[in-house]
Amino acid sequence: MARKKILVTGGAGFIGGNFVQYMVDKYPQYGIYNLDLLTYAGDLTKHKHIETKENYHFVKADIADRETILTLFEKEKFDYVVHFAAESHVDRSITDPGVFVQTNVVGTQVLLDASRMTEITKFVHVSTDEVYGELDFDPNTFFTEDTPLQPNSPYSASKASSDLLVRSYNETYRLPVNITRCSNNYGPYHFPEKLIPLTISRVLNDQKVPVYGDGKNIRDWLHVIDHCAAIDIVLHEGINGEVYNVGGHNERTNLEVVKTIIKILGKSENLIEFVKDRLGHDKRYAIDPTKLEKLGWKPTYTFDTGIAQTIQWYLDNKEWWESIISREYQNYFEKQYSSI
Which residues are known to be catalytic? 129-130, 155
Reported as type and span, the H/E element at residue 57 is strand 56-60
Residue 252 backbone zone (phi > 0: left; psi -120 to 50: alpha; other: beta): beta
CA-closest candidate to residue 43, choices 220, 179, 185, 193: 193
User: Three-state secondary structure along 225-279?
Assistant: HHHHHHHHHHHHHCCCCCEEEECCCCEEEHHHHHHHHHHHCCCCHHHEEEECCCC
68, 110 in Cβ contact below 8 A?
no
Rounded distance between C-alpha atoms, residue 166 and residue 182, angstroms: 16
Please state, in angstroms and as integers, the Cα–Cα distance from residue 39 to each residue in 43, 149, 326, 336, following that order. Answer: 8, 28, 16, 18
For the stretch 150-153, contacts whose Cβ atoms lie closer than 8 Å and that sit 24 or more positions apart, written own/partner, are 152/280, 152/282, 153/90, 153/93, 153/94, 153/279, 153/280
SS3 186: strand
SS3 80: strand
Please state, in angstroms and as integers, the Cα–Cα distance from residue 200 to each residue in 152, 187, 271, 299, following that order. Answer: 28, 11, 12, 23
Rounded distance between C-alpha atoms, residue 305 and residue 307, angstroms: 6
CA-closest candidate to residue 33, choices 68, 82, 74: 82
DSSP state of 77: -
DSSP state of 148: P
